[in-house]
Amino acid sequence: MPLDALEDASDAELLRLYAEGAPEAARLLTRRLTPMALRVAVRLLNDMAEAEDVAQDAMLRLWKAAPGWRADEAKVSTWLYTVTRNLCMDRIRRVKTRGGAAVDIDAIAEPADPGPAADVRLTEAARNTALADALADLPDRQREAVTLRHLEGLSNPEIAEIMDISTEAVESLTARGKRNLATALAARRNDLGYSDE
Amino acid sequence: MSNDPKEFELDADLDAELEALFAEARKNAPVPSEDFLARIEAQSLAEQPMQVEAGSFTPPVAEKRGWFDWHLGFAGWSSLGGLTAALVVGFGIGISPPDAVTSLTSDFLGSSTPNLEDVLWTFDSSLLEG
């Protein structure tokens, strides 16, 4: 079947075709879903190498789940978010149990001291780094909720399903997460290009 | 600690600044390298339960079957034995018809070897005339 004929197919349809042996479906699913898994993993772990391991593991689980997939029971993207999130949390817990930090917070640069260079506006990339650093410092569940809501654009009910909590709990976590982010970023307000006026 | 989200609401300016940061982060989201995607793709193909040749995946269609296949599928090999026997008997009667058949033909058609016009009695030959 030509590749472009499949491009409009849903994730569930592609997964069915994958299970039936269509290599085109394998390619399309890889290109469609891997970026999503990697993006979430990078934001939760703040480490590209670790995130690649998690994304690869999550995708492997998807391939293995394909033959028995029941489209009426789960949305493929929600399932993949859930698996990726759980794998990230496992890593964070493992590292914490070993006495280290899931993300080596000590290795993350401290916010720059306000000084002569403080009025130099950071580039967009630097602002992204500041946000990633501030996200990494959030409590785990707040980081998950804020990432899924504001960076992945998921709805509160979807996040509730992924995190296995109530919608109200999601609202509370995202609100607290945003408040903590604002506090963390306040010290770098000038660096981020925002004036106090 | 209260769980009421309103308690943690940011003022409008701070909220707008944070939203702007989120928007930039969405725009600059980390993307997988081509190497990484190739690795995942190889893994997906290796894990595929059964594989058909690339480009050849089409929905299954019914195979074209000839009369012989159709007959076999419908009635099986045993029906062909009966059909063959009927053909042989019919051929024999045609070559050397028994008396009963000859008299029957004569009674109906007035001749033991009917001509075409007798058989096609419903055909009006005047239609062929100019």
Task: Read off the CATH number of the domain in which A64 is found.
Answer: 1.10.1740.10
User: Which stretches of chain B sit within 8 Å of chain A by CB?
Assistant: 3-10, 14-15, 17-19, 21-22, 24-26, 28-32, 36-37, 39-41, 43-45, 47-55, 57-58
Which residues in chain B have Cβ-Cβ distances shorter than 8 Å to A27?
41, 44
Asked if residues A22 and A2 have their Cβ atoms less than 8 Å apart, the reply is no
Q: What angle do CA A60, A51, A144 make, to 5 degrees?
A: 100
B83–chain A nearest CA distance, Å: 43
Q: What angle do CA A95, A39, A42 make, to 5 degrees?
A: 25
* B94 domain-assigned: yes
Same domain, A62 and A118: no
* A197 domain-assigned: no
* CATH number (domain holding residue A165): 1.10.10.10
* A64 domain-assigned: yes
pLDDT at B17: 86
Residues of chain B with pLDDT under 70: 1-10, 51-83, 100-130
- What does the DSSP assignment read for A106-163? GGSPPPPPSSGGGGSPPPHHHHHHHHHHHHHHS-HHHHHHHIIIIIS---HHHHHHHH
pLDDT at A63: 97
Residue of A nearest to B26 (CA): A151
Same domain, A101 and A122: no
- Domains identified in chain A, total number: 2
A51 touches B at CB < 8 Å? yes
63-92 in A: which are within 8 Å (CB) of B? 63-64, 66-67
A116–chain B nearest CA distance, Å: 24
pLDDT at B2: 54
Neighbours of B107 (CB within 10 A): 8
Q: Alpha-carbon distance B30 to A42, whole Å? A: 7
CB contact under 8 A, B43 and A60: yes
- Domains identified in chain B, total number: 1
Same domain, A98 and A24: yes
pLDDT at B83: 63
- Residue finishing a domain among A73, A88, A105: A105
- Residue finishing a domain among A105, A139, A168: A105
A26 touches B at CB < 8 Å? yes
- Residue finishing a domain among A105, A139, A156: A105
* B38 domain-assigned: no
Task: Quick: pLDDT tens for A83-122.
Answer: 999 999 999 988 877 765 444 444 444 444 444 344 444 5
- What does the DSSP assignment read for chain B? ----GGGGPPPHHHHHHHHHHHHHHHHT-----HHHHHHHHHHHHHH-SS---TT------PPP--HHHHHHHHH-HHHHHHHHHHHHHHHHHHHS--HHHHHHHHHHHSSSS--HHHHTTT--GGGG--
CB contact under 8 A, A30 and B44: yes
Domain containing A156: what range?
Answer: 108-192
Of A38, A59, A172, the CB nearest to B43: A59
pLDDT at A113: 45
Same domain, A70 and A3: yes
Q: Which of A8-12, A104-108, A130-134, A149-153 has the lowest mean pLDDT?
A: A104-108
N-term to C-term CA, chain B: 110
Residues present in chain B in total: 130
Same domain, A92 and A186: no
| Arithmetic mean of pLDDT over chain A | 85
Domain containing B84: what range?
Answer: 67-128
Residue with tokens 């999503």: A36
Same domain, A68 and A121: no
- A contact test, residue of B11, B27, B45, B48 with most A CBs within 10 A: B48
Q: Give the mean pLDDT of A137-141.
A: 94
The one-letter amino acid code at B31 reads V
pLDDT at A152: 96
**Could you give the count of Cα atoms lying within 13 Å of A21 in the half-sphere of its Cβ?**
12
N-term to C-term CA, chain A: 59
Same domain, A93 and A180: no
Same domain, A8 and A94: yes
Same domain, A1 and A92: yes
Task: Quick: pLDDT tens for A57-85.
Answer: 999 999 999 999 988 888 999 999 999 99
pLDDT at A99: 67
* A98 domain-assigned: yes
A44 touches B at CB < 8 Å? no
Of A38, A64, A179, the CB nearest to B32: A38
Residue of B nearest to A59 (CA): B40
Q: How many angstroms separate the Cα of A125 from the Cα of each of A129, A132, A142, A167?
A: 6, 10, 23, 32
* B16 domain-assigned: no
Asked if residues A36 and A62 have their Cβ atoms less than 8 Å apart, the reply is no
Same domain, A100 and A133: no
Structure tokens at A87: 């794998």
Same domain, A63 and A129: no
Same domain, A25 and A94: yes
